[in-house]
C-alpha cells in the first residue's frame, strides 16, 4: 500500500509557526505585566528627578542629558510615599553624562561624558556646611580629556585608581594619590591602551587581577590589556 504524504508549503508553515510564537510571547507578556501590576511597590517605582534622558547608572547615583549627577536613596524611592526628591550634586557637566561610578568607600562619585571632562565629587562634603552657612563644594578634582569619555571603571583594590575610555581610542589610567588636579598637571594620566581604528565604548578592571582591563572597541570588539605593559 502506497502512503501519500500531504505536501507542505514552507511559507505557510513558517507563517503558522510565527503566529504561534507571537501568541506565546503575547501571553507571556500579559502574565509578566499582571505579576508586576500585583506588586507595583515592590518591583517598580518611578523616580522623577531628571529633565532629560538618563544615560548612566551606578548604585546609587545616575546621570543623564540634563548634565547633573543625582544621588538616590533607593529605600526612600521604593517605599517612601512622601515624594522626597533625591540629592543633586552642585557641580554639573557642560554636556551629556555618559558614565558614572561610585568608589568602593561610597564617598566619591566620578562622572564623565560628552564635555571631555572627568569630575570627581566628594559626596560627604555635600552634607557639610561651608562658610557663612553655605553648602561646601563637593567637587574635588577636574580632569580634562581631548575627546568625549564613554566609560569609567574604579579598581577594586585601590580606591584612588580608575580608568577612562575615550572616543579618540585611548584608555587613560588615573591615580588620585599622585595628582591633585588638571590645573596643576598637564598630563595627570597615563595611556595604558590605544586604538588607531576605532573608539573605546567601555572599559572595566578585572575584579581580582587588577593589572588586567577589558575593553570594548568600535571595530575590534572585546580586548584584554595588561596595564603593566602599557600595551596589549
How do residues 21-58 score in pLDDT, each as one tens digit? Answer: 666 666 666 766 776 666 655 545 556 666 666 666 66
Of 6-10, 156-160, 192-196, the one with minimum mean pLDDT is 6-10
Q: Distance between CA atoms of 46 and 90, rounded to whole angstroms?
A: 23
pLDDT at 176: 86
Confidence band for 132, pLDDT divided at 50, 70 and 90: very low
pLDDT at position 134 over 50: no
pLDDT at 155: 92
pLDDT at 105: 84
87-99: average pLDDT: 85
65-78: average pLDDT: 71
- Residues near 62 by beta carbon (within 8 Å), at least 6 away in sequence: 50, 54, 56, 69, 70, 72, 100
Confidence band for 117, pLDDT divided at 50, 70 and 90: very high
175-181: average pLDDT: 70
pLDDT at position 232 over 50: no
Higher pLDDT, 74 or 228: 228
pLDDT at position 104 over 80: yes
pLDDT at 182: 46
Of 62-66, 123-127, 217-221, the one with minimum mean pLDDT is 62-66
- Residues near 150 by beta carbon (within 8 Å), at least 6 away in sequence: 98, 99, 165, 166, 167, 199, 200, 201, 202
pLDDT digits (tens, 9 = 90+) for 180-225: 544 444 557 788 888 877 899 999 999 899 899 999 987 888 899 9
60-86: average pLDDT: 67
pLDDT at position 165 over 50: yes
pLDDT at 15: 67
93-103: average pLDDT: 89
Amino acid at each position: 500500500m502506497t502512503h501519500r504524504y500531504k505536501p507542505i508549503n514552507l511559507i505557510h508553515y513558517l507563517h503558522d509557526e510565527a503566529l504561534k510564537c507571537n501568541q506565546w510571547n503575547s501571553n507571556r507578556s500579559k502574565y509578566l505585566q499582571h505579576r508586576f501590576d500585583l506588586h507595583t511597590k515592590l518591583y517598580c517605582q518611578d523616580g522623577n528627578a531628571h529633565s532629560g534622558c538618563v544615560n548612566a547608572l551606578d548604585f546609587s547615583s545616575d546621570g543623564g542629558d540634563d548634565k547633573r549627577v543625582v544621588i538616590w536613596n533607593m529605600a526612600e524611592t521604593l517605599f517612601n510615599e512622601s515624594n522626597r526628591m533625591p540629592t543633586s550634586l552642585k557641580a554639573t557637566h557642560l554636556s551629556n553624562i555618559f558614565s558614572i561610578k561610585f568608589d568602593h568607600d561610597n564617598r566619591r562619585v566620578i562622572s564623565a561624558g560628552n564635555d571631555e571632562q572627568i569630575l570627581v565629587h566628594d559626596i560627604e562634603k555635600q552634607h557639610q556646611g561651608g562658610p557663612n552657612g553655605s553648602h561646601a563644594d563637593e567637587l574635588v578634582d577636574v580632569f580634562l580629556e581631548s575627546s568625549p569619555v564613554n566609560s569609567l571603571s574604579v579598581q577594586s583594590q585601590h580606591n584612588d585608581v580608575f580608568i577612562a575610555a575615550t572616543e579618540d581610542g585611548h584608555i587613560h589610567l588615573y591615580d588620585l594619590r599622585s595628582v591633585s588636579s588638571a590645573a596643576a598637571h598637564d598630563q595627570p594620566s597615563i595611556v595604558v591602551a590605544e586604538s588607531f581604528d576605532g573608539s573605546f565604548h567601555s572599559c572595566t578592571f578585572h575584579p581580582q587581577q587588577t593589572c588586567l582591563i577589558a575593553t570594548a572597541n568600535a571595530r575590534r570588539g572585546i580586548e584584554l590589556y595588561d596595564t603593566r605593559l602599557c600595551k596589549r
